[in-house]
Chains A and B, each alone.
Chain A
């Protein structure tokens, strides 16, 4: 119970005892895949590394593990500069996205292989129990004596995950650890593994392309896009104050709607003018709006803040139904506006709609995000 109560560690532990990378850069051919990345993860902390595929998550993990050498920058593990330390001596546990299981070993042998390598073949006491416990947690207890070739993708992923979790490393790097599992198991493991990691004395990085998974598992979330860190913060920070459009578009199911337009002020009131719409901005945003008057901006609205309305409703924006997906507890309606933009609306109840039928929708009174028209970063 007490362990549960402290499952939200703040960054009071010194990061130099955990993992710290500074100014890391890496170039492959003409592509700078990692650009000046700095981040620190404390022992027992889980940093969720969120980014679309190709953002450089895997490369970053491989550099920390020592499998790629950075062009510039440093990497510290437990206070020690590991730039010149060989991968085997860094004691970093890396779970490969591609699993990298040994085809000639059984599931159980695969899981204990890193321990065996370090202890010259002899396994410490209690390892068998630890492996059994992991196999049960991951629901692959019945597969212990099979070889990887007889496993499905999801099962292989769990073996690779078990192999990473059984170690006692200086840092644990999980590269998309649960991406190929079904929804229910993902839900279970997000919680279970996250809680396990919080009780450990090593830092952990959990990389995922799924923004919501990042929010769920991370004490903090680092957003990587095109090799650059866009934002690092708590899940609440990321959700309530996304630093840029790139960040905003990664989080949310479905992601935020973003419209391009301009700001105008009329006396005390401020308006966003976009294609075919003019939206009055709430007072909180109006102050910012005045300073950046007549500049190009992006307006972000979460799908949950929009509502469907009858055709011709006052202040309603006319649109056509593009698709209508019912998910039980909510439904997602995609509309195509006159300007050709696709706008997504998330609503609690499912309404039967004909594809192509004319409707209109309303922008709610608040919950807007304003992003700079040039840089795409959140205006504050």
Chain B
């Protein structure tokens, strides 16, 4: 088993094109599942391919357990990979597919049989061992691909969007299964995904990338509770966080939020922090599930009407139009199903302690060190 360390790694595919990955410094600890998460084109797949040896580095170095590997071909890095489109060997049976990495590396017959049988049993595929793989469902194919990855006990497994071609139940099922296998075998893993749910469910830590630049690396709960900047705040959480401009108020210990036509008390600690930072222009972030929606007016509440209601089973998400000049909207999520309907008038309250404060210029979270 090994740690994986990216040292100032950069990637440019062709001269003159923008960098795909810019000065990436990142460590994946031993036995950890690290997710690389970001929108398409953020450089996560390039990073993974460089770790796999399927792409060359433009600059920097990658170390496996302290040993530089950037000059080694993929086959000599002692890694395994699970691909988005499974990439099974279509001419082989299930057992032969799982056996392939062992047999090409010249393992003895006895060891191969033992390992393959063990993996087949673990995946519940023993009865199907001699079937060809090409007419199996996507979920079944991906399970075989995972079996092929773990059979050799590699130092590192790379998962490249492993669930994105699967649907609903298969996805939920396989994601739990991958987590379990990874944890029980303690194998260092890197997962690339564009789906935050997948990353949150499976990873110990998530590295969020945007335009080739690493934004934040942290455990999922930390990303949710303390996003490093506006991009991360907006990317993590569904529906995405409400963001609106604000400024430090003339009233001491308060901030003005123009679109809510409200002045909100922030508490002593934050007052001191804002004074210390000397920041004036802010962006306030509030997660939809933290917004309080009421039918009766309360002190300091904001009037809004429901433009659109989206039932989500055990929750309803509401698009609310604030009754002010510009018609700004907010998204709120309530445990559901609710009795609210489009067109209903409601009152909003902002729980001050749930607010996230960002610097409007740098877009950084002002309380990242907390």
Chain B binder among A22-30, A81-89, A161-169, A235-243: A235-243
A211 to B183, CA, bound (A): 30
Does the CB pair B307–A8 fall under 8 Å?
Answer: no
Cβ A236 vs Cβ B337 within 8 A: yes
User: Within the assembled complex, what's the spacing in Å between the Cα atoms of A310 and B365?
Assistant: 38
Inter-chain contact A209/B167, CB cutoff 8 Å: yes
Answer whether residue B253 sits at the interface, using C-beta atoms and an 8 A cutoff.
Answer: no
Cβ of A283 under 8 Å from chain B: no
B8 within 8 A of A: no
Residue A244 is within 8 A (CB to CB) of chain B in the complex: no
Asked if A339 is at the interface of the complex by the 8 Å CB criterion, the answer is no
Closest beta carbon of chain A to B12's beta carbon, Å: 18
| Neighbouring B residues of A255 by C-beta, 8 Å | 169, 172
CB < 8 Å A-B pair total? 112
- Say how far A245's CB is from chain B's closest CB, in angstroms: 13
Interface centre among B172, B289, B341 (most CB of A within 10 A): B172
Residues of B within 8 Å of A212, CB to CB, are: 312-313
Q: Is the CB of B310 within 8 A of A328?
A: no
Asked whether A327 lies within 8 Å of B311 as measured between CB atoms, the reply is no
Instruction: Indicate if the CB atoms of B239 and A251 lie closer than 8 Å.
Output: no
A90 within 8 A of B: no
Instruction: State A317–B202 Cα separation when bound (angstroms).
Output: 27
Contact B220 A184, beta carbon cutoff 8 Å = no
Q: Are B237 and A252 in contact (CB under 8 A)?
A: no
Q: Once the chains bind, are B169 and A327 in contact (CB under 8 Å)?
A: no
Among A187, A216, A240, A328, point to the contact of B221 (Cβ < 8 A). A328
Interface residues of A in 288-328 (CB under 8 A from B): 302, 304, 322-323, 325-328
Given A183-B197, A216-B312, A328-B220: A355 in contact with B234 (beta carbons within 8 A): no
Interface string of B176-189 (1 = CB under 8 A from A): 10011001100000
Tell me whether A4 and B308 are in contact (CB under 8 A). yes
Tell me if B200 counts as interface (CB < 8 A to partner A): yes
Cβ of A76 within 8 Å of any chain B Cβ, yes or no, is: no
* Residues of B with C-beta under 8 A to A332: 201
Query: B residues within 8 A CB of A8?
Result: 341-342
Q: Tell which of B41, B164, B167, B287 has the most Cβ of chain A within 10 Å.
A: B167
* Chain B residues with CB under 8 A of A179: 167
CB within 8 A of B240: which of A187, A210, A322, A327? A187
Taking a contact as CB atoms under 8 Å apart, the answer to whether B39 and A211 are in contact is no
Q: Which of B283-309 contact A (CB under 8 A)?
A: 287, 289, 307-308
Q: Are B312 and A215 in contact (CB-based, < 8 A)?
A: yes
For the complex, what is the distance from the CA of A154 to the CA of B161, rounded to whole Å? 14
Query: What is the CA–CA distance of A184 and B239 in the complex, to the nearest angstrom?
Result: 7
Chain A count of residues within 8 A CB distance of the other chain = 49
Shortest distance in angstroms between B218's beta carbon and chain A's nearest beta carbon? 12
Q: Can you list, as one digit per residue, whether each of B318-339 has a CB less than 8 Å from chain A (1) or not (0)? A: 0100000000000000000100
**Best-surrounded residue of B168, B179, B314 (most CB of chain A within 10 A):** B168
Given the contacts A236-B337, A240-B337, A325 and B179 also touching, CB distance less than 8 Å: yes
Are B342 and A7 interface neighbours, CB within 8 A? yes
Q: Is B100 interfacial (CB 8 A cutoff)?
A: no
Q: Answer yes or no: A268 CB below 8 A from chain B CBs.
A: no
Is the pair B167, A52 in contact by a Cβ cutoff of 8 Å? yes
CB under 8 Å from chain B, chain A span 183-198: 183-184, 187, 190-191, 195
Given contacts A53-B167, A191-B310, A326 and B238 within 8 Å (CB-CB): no
User: Can you name 16 A-B residue pairings with CB atoms under 8 Å?
Assistant: A4-B343, A7-B342, A179-B167, A182-B39, A182-B195, A187-B238, A187-B239, A209-B167, A210-B167, A211-B313, A216-B310, A239-B311, A249-B169, A327-B201, A327-B220, A328-B236
B interface residues, Cβ below 8 angstroms from A: 39-41, 164, 167-169, 172, 175-176, 179-180, 183-184, 194-197, 200-202, 220-221, 223-225, 234-240, 287, 289, 307-308, 310-314, 317, 319, 337, 341-343
Chain A residues engaging chain B, CB cutoff 8 angstroms: 4-5, 7-8, 52-53, 152, 154-155, 179-180, 182-184, 187, 190-191, 195, 209-212, 215-216, 235-236, 239-240, 249-255, 302, 304, 322-323, 325-329, 332, 334, 346, 350, 355
